[in-house]
Structures are given as structure tokens and as C-alpha cells.
């Protein structure tokens, strides 16, 4: 469940090495991501050029093939790992700033067709215990299985673009998310940020509208209706050429960049602005937003013409 935060970094100074190791891994994953995704790189530079280099990340996101048997209908499940609530000195930015949340989704492989399952299991079997080295593979920017075949990639893509994306991108960063509300300039408002990004010629994911999460629906008795306090948007993924096992080189979708503005929770709305911290804001994720953000790597969005 998104609210279950299982990852904890100790505040004990004897474990500071652990934290710097973790930050080093994040920095290496980020380097791979920036080298592969010119749009993400350009947008980070653009935002930093306006916002005094104090940009920080809301979350890092990864995709995986899941092995659990799950509730029918949902294609993808996810877990969220939250950083500990330790006060962070205002000094660092980026991966040296406040630690990002880690968002890991998994494809519910058991619910795929037998043909798709066969392809996925072929590669995860080839990988052996490669899943134990997911962070290493992500930091190196390589797959833990052999180079996939183009025909199998295409077959997977027909059933699930998520499955096909994961086959060729593996554990590499799917996206990083800029924390809009922690910016200092007018870009702290996600609507201004979206406008700024578009004015600079970048294409945003239009699925269900550019801004996700702004609908302010009433609480149902199941308690899962959107509260309108988590606003998100994202670019359309970059493409890169990829050499498949047959030797064919084809263009594949790689990663995108996301923006998130977490609004202040109702119980803290009277706090003076300079006293508002991350803990006073909407935490977690929103399924209704996520469903649309997933489309950032879809062919529909990649081939869409900007009006």
C-alpha cells in the first residue's frame, strides 16, 4: 500500500555511510538517465536556470515484472518507499537535497496472456537472480537479461506497452520528479511550470488533460477518492535507438520527467507559509493520476502532434 513506508534510514550518525552510499547510487542512476534522455536533461537545466539551482526531487520511479498473484483487472501495482522524516539542512539540491521517495511499480505478470507470460519468464529466467542486483543494473544502465528479440518486444507491446518498455529498459530510472512546491520562483506553481515547459517547446503528456489531479471530488465511503491535493504532470518520453538480438536497430521509448506539486493538508492550511514543511503537505500517490502518467511512454503520446 502506498502509505506503508518500509524503508528507513537511521538517524544514527554511525550509519551516515549508509546514507552517502544510497545517495551515490541515486546520483549514478541519475547520470545514466540524463545521458539517455535529452529532454529530461534540458528541462532540469532550464528550471535550474530560473530557480537558483535549488531544485529537489519528489520521487524516483522504476518499473518491474511482478511475481505476485494479485486482484484481477489491475494491470500494475505499486509500492512507495518514503525517506525518513529527518530535518534536512537547506544546503543540498538534487540528489544531495532532501531524499526523494522511491516509487516502484510492478506488472502483474500472472494476469497476462500465456504467450506474454512465456516471453517475460524467458527473460527473467535468463536473468537468474539478477533481480537481486536491480540497483546495480540501474546504476550501470544495463539489463540483467540478454538482449531481447525484436519480434518478442513487438508481441509484448501489442498486449502491454509497460511490459515491452520494461523488456528493453529493465531497471533503469523510468522518471525523476521535480518537486514543484519546493522551488522558489513562480515555477513553484505547477500550472506556471507546465506553461513554462510548453513555451520552451517541450511536449507534455496530454492523457486526461495536462494537469493530473486537479479534480476536487468528494470523499466516498471507501475513502479513496482524489482530494485534489496532489497535482502532477509529465513530459512525453524520449526515444532512443536500441539494437535487438536479431541485429535490427529500432527506436524505443525511454524515460520522461515528471512534476509534482503537493498542496498543504487542510489541517495545516493556517500555518504561515514559511513554516510549511513537506510533512504538512499531501503525501503518497494518487491512482487516478498514476494511470495517466503511465501513458508518458505510450505510442499514442509519443506519436502525438502538438496542437
Q: Is 259 in the site for ligand OOG (CB under 6 A)?
A: no
Shortest CB 103 distance to ligand OOG, Å? 6
| Rounded distance between C-alpha atoms, residue 29 and residue 23, angstroms | 10
Shortest CB 122 distance to ligand OOG, Å? 22
| Rounded distance between C-alpha atoms, residue 257 and residue 60, angstroms | 10
7 vs 149 by CB, closer to Ni ion: 7
| Those residues with Cβ within 8 angstroms of residue 165's Cβ, 6 or more apart along the chain or in another chain | 63, 174, 252, 253, 297
Shortest CB 253 distance to ligand OOG, Å? 10
Grid coordinates given for 234 = 509529465
Which residue carries 512546491 as its cell?
Answer: 181
Q: Is 61 in the site for ligand OOG (CB under 6 A)?
A: yes
Judged by CB under 6 A, which stretch of 66-74, 148-156, 220-228, 293-301 contacts ligand OOG?
A: 293-301
| Those residues with Cβ within 8 angstroms of residue 134's Cβ, 6 or more apart along the chain or in another chain | 62, 64, 144, 171
Among 26, 167, 293, 302, binds ligand OOG (CB under 6 A): 293
19 vs 278 by CB, closer to ligand OOG: 278
Q: Helix, strand or coil for residue 213?
A: coil
Grid coordinates given for 233 = 504532470
Tell me, by CB under 6 A, how many residues bind ligand OOG.
13
> Where does the chain have alpha helices with state H?
16-36, 38-50, 114-127, 134-140, 150-159, 161-169, 190-199, 287-293, 299-302
Among 144, 174, 194, 235, binds ligand OOG (CB under 6 A): 174
127 vs 289 by CB, closer to Ni ion: 289
Residue closest to ligand OOG when measured from CB atoms: 290
State the angle between helix axes of 161-169 and 114-127 in degrees (0 to 180), rounded to the nearest 10.
Answer: 20
Q: Is 60 in the site for ligand OOG (CB under 6 A)?
A: no
Shortest CB 177 distance to Ni ion, Å? 5
Looking at residues 269 to 288 of the shown chain, list those that interact with ligand OOG (rule: CB under 6 A).
Answer: 285
Among 37, 39, 64, 105, binds ligand OOG (CB under 6 A): 105
Q: Is 104 in the site for Ni ion (CB under 5 A)?
A: no
Which residue carries 547520470 as its cell?
Answer: 31
| Those residues with Cβ within 8 angstroms of residue 19's Cβ, 6 or more apart along the chain or in another chain | 9
| Those residues with Cβ within 8 angstroms of residue 67's Cβ, 6 or more apart along the chain or in another chain | 109, 110
Q: Is 258 in the site for Ni ion (CB under 5 A)?
A: yes
Judge residue 122's burial from the number of C-beta atoms within 10 Å of its C-beta, 0-12 exposed, 13-18 middle, 19 or more buried.
middle
Q: Is 57 in the site for ligand OOG (CB under 6 A)?
A: no
Judged by CB under 6 A, which stretch of 47-55, 137-145, 195-203, 289-297 contacts ligand OOG?
A: 289-297
| Rounded distance between C-alpha atoms, residue 172 and residue 64, angstroms | 10
Among 111, 289, 298, 301, binds ligand OOG (CB under 6 A): 289
Q: Is 290 in the site for ligand OOG (CB under 6 A)?
A: yes
Among 47, 61, 112, 163, binds Ni ion (CB under 5 A): 61
Q: Is 64 in the site for ligand OOG (CB under 6 A)?
A: no
- Residues forming contacts to ligand OOG in the complex (CB under 6 A) are 61, 63, 103, 105, 174, 232, 258, 285, 289-290, 293-294, 296
- Residues forming contacts to Ni ion in the complex (CB under 5 A) are 61, 258
Amino acid at each position: 500500500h502506498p502509505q506503508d513506508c518500509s524503508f528507513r534510514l537511521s538517524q544514527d550518525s554511525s550509519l551516515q555511510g549508509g546514507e552517502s552510499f544510497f545517495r551515490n547510487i541515486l546520483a549514478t542512476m541519475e547520470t545514466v538517465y540524463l545521458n539517455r534522455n535529452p529532454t529530461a536533461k534540458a528541462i532540469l537545466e532550464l528550471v535550474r536556470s530560473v530557480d537558483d539551482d535549488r531544485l529537489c526531487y519528489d520521487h524516483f520511479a522504476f518499473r518491474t515484472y511482478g511475481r505476485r498473484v494479485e486482484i484481477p483487472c489491475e494491470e500494475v501495482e505499486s509500492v512507495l518507499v518514503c525517506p525518513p522524516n529527518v530535518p534536512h539542512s537547506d544546503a543540498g539540491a538534487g540528489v544531495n537535497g532532501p531524499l526523494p521517495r522511491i516509487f516502484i511499480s510492478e506488472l502483474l505478470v500472472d494476469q497476462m496472456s500465456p504467450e506474454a507470460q512465456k516471453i517475460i519468464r524467458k527473460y527473467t529466467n535468463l536473468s537468474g537472480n539478477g533481480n537481486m542486483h536491480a540497483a546495480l543494473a540501474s546504476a550501470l544502465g544495463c539489463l540483467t537479461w540478454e538482449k531481447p528479440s525484436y519480434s518478442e518486444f513487438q508481441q509484448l507491446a501489442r498486449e502491454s506497452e509497460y511490459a515491452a518498455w520494461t523488456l528493453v529498459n529493465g531497471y533503469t530510472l523510468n522518471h525523476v520528479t521535480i518537486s514543484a512546491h519546493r522551488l522558489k520562483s513562480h515555477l513553484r506553481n505547477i500550472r506556471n511550470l507546465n506553461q513554462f515547459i510548453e513555451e520552451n517547446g517541450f511536449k507534455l503528456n496530454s492523457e486526461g488533460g495536462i494537469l493530473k489531479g486537479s479534480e476536487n471530488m468528494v470523499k466516498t465511503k471507501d475513502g479513496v477518492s482524489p482530494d485534489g491535493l496532489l497535482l502532477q504532470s509529465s513530459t512525453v518520453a524520449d526515444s532512443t535507438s536500441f539494437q535487438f538480438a536479431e541485429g535490427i536497430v529500432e527506436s524505443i521509448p525511454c524515460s520522461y520527467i515528471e512534476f509534482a506539486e503537493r498542496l498543504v493538508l487542510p489541517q495545516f492550511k493556517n500555518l504561515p507559509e514559511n513554516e510549511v514543511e513537506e510533512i504538512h503537505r499531501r503525501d503518497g500517490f494518487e491512482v487516478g493520476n498514476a494511470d495517466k502518467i503511465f501513458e508518458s511512454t505510450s505510442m499514442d503520446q509519443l506519436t502525438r502532434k502538438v496542437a
